[in-house]
């Protein structure tokens, strides 16, 4: 017998068995679900169906959040709640106590404020540069250029890499000793540069690496936004004598704003949470030049001795508040753009 | 009928034997040790435990090896959670942190006096909660001493005298000058380096005349000796004679200059005796390396003692068996073999006095071990005090991280010292409850 025919017969037989099993399973489920539906009513069945998800969410997200909230108001070395002392807002007071907020050294928790200062600088610079670069890339990839599909893949490829892999690749590239970039500089007759040992260079490269790793994702979103702009609008603008800059300014940019808003808010939230990539690339150094808030929290809880679980939890509450504001802003802007 | 009888017989035998097997299985006590490795000590311990298990078939000991960086956090979670996840024994370096979780082995030991006679009082006290506590909770798996290593081959190639060969009491300045000259002549990138660790700074600081530890256990950070040492390390960076990868590129954690030394890129490396085994295997015959005495200063010449301890944890469900394992491991012949094969300096007083017949044919190892053994009598009381202080770990990490900030210009030395003082004061208050 023809092997393809045999395979077809086999597949049909397997399909039939699977369908039968599935049907029996559904019948069995009906035995439970039908009486339940009669008991609670069809509208309330939705709660039953989302219950498993809510259970997982409750155990792995809501409960830790609540525990963290409580930890933020306690002190001590123990990780068990019953062994921790309730200290009210002491941890928050310590975090926020500062003589001059522009000078972290004058703060009780100077590293927290260095983290805040570094994170603010990072968010502004990283989100700003990345959105501009992603927009330029999206505009370029929206043109009818040669190898368009290839270039789209190239821009998206770093997004598929793990942040740790990205950081390790760049670390090998940027190291003072045996770094590829410094080796190239030396072979070209230049002195080595302390790319990861000089605070300003380190801040610069942390942003470059983040842009490189994440840009493809936002480029894709912006590209989808660009492709949703009707071509007739460009044709009409062209017939009215608009040049390419004017078409970009008066057609592309306004119609891309809803997508841009989403991109900005998403990138903003992600930038505030920066940790893994920088942890591997610079570990917060040199000094504390690239110490961001999440790493400050990590250090307080898991590196310092004695561990400052309460302080770390309080800092994460502050961070959660910032992220909540950003998420609400995202909701507000996306609803407003939907209304438009 | 015959077949039926055979089957019946098998069933009867099975019915008799199976419960016995189950009983035997129930009697087997499984113990776990949370462990980390610097070198080959995990393998040596396994060998020793295999022999113990052969003599005690009802006890099985499993070694759970974790990375040193995660060791204390893992142990903290395990002992607080308790239950099956908690180890019966653990090898730790931050002894004070787990004082609430140690098991007093005294009631289970056949000869508790042997323990008190075999280990130094400060080490045994490091497990204890206060002056009234006389419990026996664990023992040092090894004794370590901080001190410098040099690449002797580079000195010879450069034609520069090794300061300790030609001077009675060479200072850090003498060593720095010599190492810098060697690096310049040989073209090696780095002259001198020290691990990114506060613990490693204490030795040079005390030798430079620092005094930090007060009688009440509190720490006074600021002293001319400490300032001189911190400034010296900062200047190494300013003068570009030390690898940036250690203090600057490594962020906020411990980092070692070991790879630079092993790869022949570094002339002088301030670390400690625990490196010996690794140097022997990694450097091999590539170059001659020596351990040299700690440099001299106004405070003399001292390293810092240290080492890891193996402690019994009170979360164990099998205190008697745990005590049996611990008591086996502290016996002079067992601990002697452990030290001989791991190239560790023993923390056992009797063994240290007798000497250990180390298993090595590497002359560099023999020289290094002799040098470090000669450093033991030079250790100052404050060196012991700092190492076994309950707030020593805080002092260590704060000193390390704040010096890192000084090196890159984020803090002045004054600001750094003030920040370290704040941290150790807070830790003191937490531990002693005083001001």
- What is the DSSP track for B22-67? HHHHHHPEEEEEEE--SSSHHHHHHHHHHHHHHH-TTEEEEEEE--
User: Considering only alpha carbons, which residue of chain B is nearest residue A196?
Assistant: B249
Using an 8 Å Cβ cutoff, are B123 and B347 in contact? yes
The pLDDT value recorded for residue B2 is: 55
Optimal mutation site among B77, B241, B249, B401, interface A, most CBs of chain A within 10 A:
B249
Size of interface A-B (CB pairs under 8 A): 88
The pLDDT value recorded for residue B388 is: 84
Using an 8 Å Cβ cutoff, are B394 and B427 in contact? yes
Reported confidence tier of residue A337, pLDDT bands at 50, 70, 90 = low
Distance CA A321, CA A313 (A): 12
Half-sphere exposure of B190 (CA within 13 A, CB side): 27
Neighbours of B116 (CB within 10 A): 13
The pLDDT value recorded for residue B435 is: 42
Average pLDDT of the residues of chain A: 91
Q: What would the pLDDT profile of A294-333 be if each residue is shown by its tens digit?
A: 999 999 998 877 788 999 999 999 999 988 888 888 778 7
Distance CA A134, CA A214 (A): 9
Distance CA B382, CA B212 (A): 8
Pick the closest to residue B297 from B236, B226, B239, B242 (CA basis). B226
The pLDDT value recorded for residue A207 is: 97
Q: CA of A277 to nearest chain B CA: how many angstroms apart?
A: 13
Helix (H, G, I), strand (E, B) or coil at B257: coil
A305 contacts B72? CB cut-off 8 A:
yes
Provide φ and ψ at A330, rounded to 5°. Answer: -60, -45
By Cβ distance, the residue of B97, B243, B407 closest to A306 is: B97
Cβ burial, residue B351 (10 Å; 0-12/13-18/19+):
buried
ω into A286 cis (within 30 of 0) = yes
Contacting residues of A for B394, CB less than 8 Å apart = 305-306
The pLDDT value recorded for residue B5 is: 60
DSSP conformation letters of B89-158: EEEES-GGGGGGGB---GGG-S-HHHHHHHB-HHHHHTT-SSTT-----EEES-BEEEEEEEEHHHHHHH
β partners of residue B206: none
Q: CA of A196 to nearest chain B CA: how many angstroms apart?
A: 6
Optimal mutation site among A286, A297, A299, interface B, most CBs of chain B within 10 A:
A286
Provide φ and ψ at A259, rounded to 5°. Answer: -65, -40
B243 contacts A177? CB cut-off 8 A:
yes
Token look-up 């239950």 returns B83
Q: CA of A315 to nearest chain B CA: how many angstroms apart?
A: 18
The pLDDT value recorded for residue A255 is: 92
Distance CA B154, CA B151 (A): 6
CB of A303 within 8 Å of a chain B CB? The answer is yes
Q: What would the pLDDT profile of A33-71 be if each residue is shown by its tens digit?
A: 899 999 989 889 999 889 999 999 999 999 999 999 999
Pick the closest to residue B193 from B140, B245, B249, B121 (CA basis). B245
> What letters, b where the CB count within 10 A reaches 16 and e where it falls short, cover B40-69?
ebbebbeebbeebeeeeeebebebeebeee
The pLDDT value recorded for residue A339 is: 65
By Cβ distance, the residue of B253, B393, B396 closest to A283 is: B253
Distance CA B382, CA B303 (A): 11
Using an 8 Å Cβ cutoff, are B308 and B68 in contact? no
Contacting residues of A for B72, CB less than 8 Å apart = 305
Distance CA A285, CA B126 (A): 33
The pLDDT value recorded for residue B17 is: 52
pLDDT < 50 stretches in chain B: 22-23, 435
Cβ burial, residue B383 (10 Å; 0-12/13-18/19+):
buried
Token look-up 């010599």 returns B178
Distance CA A267, CA B83 (A): 43
User: Considering only alpha carbons, which residue of chain B is nearest residue A106?
Assistant: B415
Q: What would the pLDDT profile of A261-305 be if each residue is shown by its tens digit?
A: 889 988 998 999 999 999 999 999 898 999 999 999 999 998 877
DSSP conformation letters of A12-72: HHHHHHHHHHHHHHHHHHHHHHHHHHHHH-TTTHHHHHHHHHHHHHIIIIIHHHHHHHHHT
Optimal mutation site among A78, A79, A104, A287, interface B, most CBs of chain B within 10 A:
A287
Contacting residues of A for B97, CB less than 8 Å apart = 77, 305-306
Q: CA of A274 to nearest chain B CA: how many angstroms apart?
A: 16
Q: What would the pLDDT profile of B68-124 be if each residue is shown by its tens digit?
A: 888 998 999 899 888 888 999 999 988 888 999 999 999 999 999 999 999 988 889
Contacting residues of A for B248, CB less than 8 Å apart = 194, 197, 285-287
B404 contacts A305? CB cut-off 8 A:
no
By Cβ distance, the residue of B80, B251, B408 closest to A283 is: B251
Question: Does the model's ipTM exceed the 0.90 cut?
Answer: no
| Sign of the alpha-carbon torsion through B65, B141, B71, B30 | positive
B415 contacts A302? CB cut-off 8 A:
no
Helix (H, G, I), strand (E, B) or coil at B71: helix
Q: CA of B409 to nearest chain A CA: how many angstroms apart?
A: 8
Distance CA B369, CA B346 (A): 11
Distance CA A47, CA A56 (A): 14
CB of B250 within 8 Å of a chain A CB? The answer is yes
By Cβ distance, the residue of B265, B411, B430 closest to A306 is: B430
B73 contacts A302? CB cut-off 8 A:
yes
By Cβ distance, the residue of B249, B407, B427 closest to A306 is: B427
User: Any alpha helices (H) in B159-308, and if so which ranges?
Assistant: 163-166, 172-186, 198-207, 224-238, 244-247, 258-262, 276-283
A286 contacts B404? CB cut-off 8 A:
yes
The pLDDT value recorded for residue B7 is: 55
- From the centroid of its chain, how far is CA B90? 13
Helix (H, G, I), strand (E, B) or coil at B182: helix
Q: How is residue A190 annotated by DSSP?
A: P
Distance CA B318, CA B214 (A): 40
Contacting residues of B for A277, CB less than 8 Å apart = none
Q: CA of A187 to nearest chain B CA: how many angstroms apart?
A: 17
């Amino acid at each position: 017998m023809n092997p393809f025919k045999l395979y077809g017969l086999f597949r049909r037989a397997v399909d039939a068995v699977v369908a039968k099993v599935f049907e029996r399973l559904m019948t069995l489920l009906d035995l439970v679900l039908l009486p339940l539906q009669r008991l609670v009513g069809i509208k309330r069945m939705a709660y039953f169906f989302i219950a498993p998800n809510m259970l997982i969410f409750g155990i792995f997200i809501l409960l830790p959040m609540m525990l963290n909230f409580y930890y933020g108001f306690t002190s001590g070395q123990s990780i068990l709640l019953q062994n921790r002392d309730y200290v009210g807002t002491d941890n928050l007071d310590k975090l926020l106590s500062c003589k001059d907020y522009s000078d972290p050294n004058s703060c009780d928790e100077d590293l927290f404020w260095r983290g805040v200062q570094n994170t603010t600088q990072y968010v502004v610079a990283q989100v700003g540069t990345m959105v501009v670069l992603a927009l330029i890339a999206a505009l370029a990839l929206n043109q009818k250029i040669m190898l368009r599909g290839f270039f789209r893949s190239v821009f998206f490829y770093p997004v598929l890499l793990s942040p740790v892999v990205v950081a390790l690749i760049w670390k090998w590239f940027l190291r003072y000793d045996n770094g590829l970039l410094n080796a190239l500089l030396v072979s070209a007759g230049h002195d080595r540069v302390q790319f990861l040992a000089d605070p300003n260079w380190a801040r610069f490269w942390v942003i470059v690496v983040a842009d490189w790793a994440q840009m493809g994702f936002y480029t894709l979103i912006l590209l989808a936004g660009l492709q949703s702009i009707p071509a007739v609008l460009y044709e009409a603008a062209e017939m009215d004598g608009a040049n390419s800059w004017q078409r970009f300014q008066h057609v592309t940019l306004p119609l891309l704003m809803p997508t841009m808003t989403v991109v900005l808010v998403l990138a903003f939230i992600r930038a505030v949470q920066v940790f893994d990539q920088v942890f591997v690339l610079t570990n917060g150094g040199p000094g504390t030049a690239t110490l961001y808030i999440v790493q400050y929290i990590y250090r307080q809880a898991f590196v310092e001795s004695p561990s400052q679980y309460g302080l770390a939890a309080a800092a994460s509450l502050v961070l959660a508040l910032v992220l909540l504001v950003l998420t609400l802003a995202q909701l507000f802007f996306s609803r407003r753009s939907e209304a438009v | 009928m015959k077949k039926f009888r055979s089957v019946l017989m098998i069933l009867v035998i099975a019915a008799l034997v199976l419960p016995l097997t189950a009983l035997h299985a129930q009697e087997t006590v499984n113990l776990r040790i949370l462990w980390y490795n610097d070198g080959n000590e995990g393998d040596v311990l396994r060998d020793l435990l295999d022999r113990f298990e052969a003599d005690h078939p009802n006890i099985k000991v499993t070694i759970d090896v974790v990375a040193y960086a995660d060791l204390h956090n893992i142990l903290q979670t395990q002992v607080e959670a308790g239950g099956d996840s908690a180890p019966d024994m653990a090898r730790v370096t931050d002894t004070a942190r787990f004082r609430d979780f140690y098991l007093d082995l005294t009631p289970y030991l056949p000869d508790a006096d042997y323990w008190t006679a075999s280990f130094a009082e400060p080490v045994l006290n490091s497990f204890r909660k206060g002056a009234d506590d006389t419990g026996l909770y664990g023992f040092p798996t090894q004794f370590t001493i901080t001190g410098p290593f040099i690449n002797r081959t580079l000195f010879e190639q450069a034609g520069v005298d090794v300061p300790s060969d030609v001077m009675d009491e060479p200072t850090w300045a003498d060593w720095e000058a010599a190492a810098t000259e060697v690096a310049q002549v040989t073209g090696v990138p780095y002259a001198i380096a020290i691990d990114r660790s506060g613990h490693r700074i204490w030795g040079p600081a005390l030798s430079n005349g620092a005094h930090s530890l007060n009688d009440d256990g509190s720490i006074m950070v600021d002293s001319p000796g400490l300032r001189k040492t911190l400034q010296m390390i900062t200047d190494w960076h300013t003068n570009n004679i030390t690898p940036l990868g250690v203090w600057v590129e490594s962020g906020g954690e411990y980092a070692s200059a070991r790879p630079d030394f092993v790869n022949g890129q570094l002339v002088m490396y301030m670390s400690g005796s625990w490196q010996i085994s690794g140097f022997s295997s990694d450097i091999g015959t590539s170059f001659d390396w020596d351990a040299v005495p700690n440099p001299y200063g106004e405070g003399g010449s001292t390293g810092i003692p240290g080492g890891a301890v193996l402690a019994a944890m009170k979360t164990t469900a099998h205190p008697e068996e745990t005590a049996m394992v611990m008591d086996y491991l502290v016996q002079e012949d067992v601990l002697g073999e452990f030290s001989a094969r791991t190239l560790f300096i023993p923390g056992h007083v009797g063994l240290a006095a007798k000497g250990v017949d180390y298993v090595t044919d590497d002359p560099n190892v023999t020289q290094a071990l002799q040098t470090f053994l000669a450093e033991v009598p030079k250790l100052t009381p404050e060196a012991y005090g700092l190492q076994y202080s309950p707030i020593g770990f805080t002092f260590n990490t704060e000193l390390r991280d704040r010096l890192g900030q000084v090196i890159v210009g984020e803090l002045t030395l004054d600001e750094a010292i003030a920040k370290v003082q704040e941290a150790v004061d807070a830790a003191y208050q937490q531990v002693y409850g005083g001001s």
